[in-house]
Amino acid sequence: MTATVAATGQQSESFSHQKRGRWLEHWEPDNAKFWESGGKLTARKNLAFSVFAENLGFSVWVIWGTVVTSMGAAGFDFLAGLGKGNPTAVSNALLLTSTPTLVGAALRIPYTFAIPKFGGRAFTAFSAAMLLVPTLGLAYFVNQPGTPMWVFMLLAALAGFGGGNFSSSMANISFFFPEGKKGAALGINAAGGNLGVAQTQLVLPLLITLGTHLTAKDPAGYRFGITLSVLVWVPFILIATFGALRYMDSISTAKSDGKSYKLALTNRHTWVMSFLYIGTFGSFIGFSFAFPTLIKANFPDLAKIGWITTLGNLAFLGALVGSFSRPFGGWVSDKVGGAKITVFVFGGMSVAVAAIMAALELKSFPLYLAAFLVLFVLTGIGNGSTYRMIPSIFSAEAKKYAAEHDMDLTEAAASAKRQAGAAIGVIGAIGASGGYLLQQALRLSNINFGSMAPAFWTYAAAFIVMASVTWFFYLRSSFAIGRVPSLAYAKV
């Protein structure tokens, strides 16, 4: 009996790191000896392959945001005249760019549950391999000039699988790291994915330009350029798939917590934060998809400036600054409080939209670009601050519940962490759907009013409403001091 206990105790403290992937029957990252003896190396190995695969997921997810700007020149009539602001072409472009956003958002919840079901290694390999379908499909059909728009709509929907990768990747990595290191690991994982948007919007225009220079600046040349820009991802997808299968691990004890999901779904704060995340991440991903189309439609004369056109009219800068500002949002929220930063972000976003409208009136591209970059920076900061709020809110709620029901505080804290993790999956999915709503609002405004201005002014008003909601629920003294006493000390 004694020997068995000793052996069990020894097993719980030791771990052997291996380069090759495997099923981990025992995983105890919060045990310091276990972590230092090999657990840390294994966790970091899995994080590296996860970031690589997720980065490719975002890259394929956003690929249509850039491709549509060249398909008119490639001979597809439903996008002809996009560079001249043709309302039908603009509407079709926004429909094609918003479809992956909607599918990616819808897949985020089932992808969260896939990790406990299939294991991190197998599902990361599967989700990476799935990216071959929309890329190879687009490379084929873009070379068939008579292809109808519905085929490209289907391919755009399949690209949405790249957006679902975020949830499975985040869920998987959360199991590998101890509580004190999860925040940094998940931040790296998220930032690595978000950067895929910027790299796609930078690389694709360069490759399309290269393709047309290698052939001719005619429809066939543009089709070759688009094909080149799409196929460039295929070798990386194959590497990510092989790397996940060979080197990543699966944790057998990683189980989904259905009870926590039910509790999170019945908690009003899950839905309040989902609404706020529509404003931050929904704006980031929605404008990231639409930005190349908006620039080309509103400033067609940029096509005369070769280097700007080659760099995709600088659209990649938006996603780039938004990705890098996200960690800063989390850091400053730790110092000041997530709710205060979120109110500031929404107020600033409303002002940035007003500046965008002024730039369109003045026909000033420098002001337009600068205002949009400010908007993207604020969305990134808001992504970090809202994510910082979620665990604090659930922790404060748990403390209040424990005090009212004479419940053990440690047990309440553990329950709060599980509920916060479940809520993040729901909030992430709903927030991503905001990107679809944003682009559809632009499209419908353009169809019904002949201008996107009504949609933009609606965004400005919505951001003010979101700032008010943040204040009402998380900054009012009645909430911080009365209804949830501990929230005043939680730096929400």
Same domain membership, residue 52 and residue 95: yes
Q: What CA dihedral angle connects 207, 209, 213 and 217, to 10 degrees?
A: 130
pLDDT tens per residue, range 237-291? 999 999 999 999 988 877 666 677 787 788 889 999 999 999 999 999 999 988 9
Q: What CA dihedral angle connects 88, 89, 90 and 94, to 10 degrees?
A: 100
CB distance 82 to 309 below 8 Å:
no
What span, in angstroms and rounded, lies between the C-alpha atoms of 201 and 449? 29
Same domain membership, residue 216 and residue 88: yes
What's the pLDDT score for residue 244?
A: 94
What span, in angstroms and rounded, lies between the C-alpha atoms of 170 and 186? 6
Same domain membership, residue 368 and residue 222: no
What span, in angstroms and rounded, lies between the C-alpha atoms of 58 and 303? 27
Of 209, 194, 162, give the one whose Cα is nearest residue 66.
209
Which of 212, 230, 248 corresponds to the end of one domain? 248
What span, in angstroms and rounded, lies between the C-alpha atoms of 370 and 355? 9
Highest mean pLDDT among 6-15, 20-29, 182-191: 20-29
Q: Is residue 23 part of a domain?
A: no
Q: Is residue 26 part of a domain?
A: no
What's the pLDDT score for residue 312?
A: 63
Q: Is residue 5 part of a domain?
A: no
Domain holding 474: CATH number? 1.20.1250.20
What's the pLDDT score for residue 487?
A: 40
Same domain membership, residue 303 and residue 195: no
Which of 229, 248, 267 corresponds to the end of one domain? 248
Q: Is residue 186 part of a domain?
A: yes
Same domain membership, residue 307 and residue 176: no
What span, in angstroms and rounded, lies between the C-alpha atoms of 19 and 278? 40
Domain count, the chain: 2
Which of 226, 248, 270 corresponds to the end of one domain? 248
Same domain membership, residue 324 and residue 180: no
Same domain membership, residue 177 and residue 41: yes
| Domain span at 272 | 257-492
List Cβ neighbours of 2 (8 Å cut-off, separation of 6 or more). Answer: none
Same domain membership, residue 420 and residue 322: yes
Q: Is residue 21 part of a domain?
A: no
What's the pLDDT score for residue 5?
A: 37
Highest mean pLDDT among 107-111, 289-293, 341-345, 402-406: 341-345
Same domain membership, residue 295 and residue 222: no
More confident residue, 211 or 5: 211
Same domain membership, residue 204 and residue 93: yes
Same domain membership, residue 188 and residue 59: yes
List Cβ neighbours of 469 (8 Å cut-off, separation of 6 or more). Answer: 272, 275, 276
3-state secondary structure the chain: CHHHHHHHHHHHHCCCCCCCCCEECCCCCCCHHHHHHHHHHHHHHHHHHHHHHHHHHHHHHCHHHHHHHHHCCCCCHHHCCHHHCCHHHHHHHHHHHHHHHHHHHHHHHHHHHHHHHHCHHHHHHHHHHCCHHHHHHHHHHCCCCCCCHHHHHHHHHHHCHHHHHHHHHHHHHHHHCCHHHHHHHHHHHHHHHHHHHHHHHHHHHHHHHHHHHHCCCCHHHHHHHHHHHHHCCHHHHHHHHHHHHHHCCEECCCCCCHHHHHHHHCCHHHHHHHHHHHHHHHHHHHHHHHHHHHHHHHCHHHHHCHHHHHCHHHCHHHHHHHHHHHHHHHHHHHHHCHHHHHHHHHHHHHHHHHHHHHHHHHCCHHHHHHHHHHHHHHHHHHHHHHHHHHHHHHHHHHHHHHHHHCCCHHHHHHHHHHHHHHHHHHHHHHHHHHHHHHHHHHHHHHHHHCCCHHHHHHHHHHHHHHHHHHHHHHCCHHHHHHHCHHHHHCCC
CB distance 290 to 313 below 8 Å:
no
Confidence of residue 117 (pLDDT cuts 50, 70, 90): confident
Same domain membership, residue 269 and residue 243: no
Q: Is residue 57 part of a domain?
A: yes
What's the pLDDT score for residue 218?
A: 85
Q: Is residue 244 part of a domain?
A: yes
Q: What angle do CA 78, 84, 85 make, to 5 degrees?
A: 75
| Percent of the chain at pLDDT exceeding 90 | 41
Confidence of residue 411 (pLDDT cuts 50, 70, 90): low
Q: What angle do CA 91, 97, 98 make, to 5 degrees?
A: 85
User: Crossing angle, helix 132-141 and helix 63-71, to 10 degrees?
Assistant: 0
Confidence of residue 483 (pLDDT cuts 50, 70, 90): very low
Query: Which range (70-74, 124-128, 346-350) has the least confidence?
Result: 70-74
Q: Is residue 11 part of a domain?
A: no
Backbone CA torsion sign across 70, 76, 77, 78: negative
CB distance 374 to 492 below 8 Å:
no
Please report where in the chains the tokens 């990768």 appear, as a residue: 165
pTM for this one?
0.82
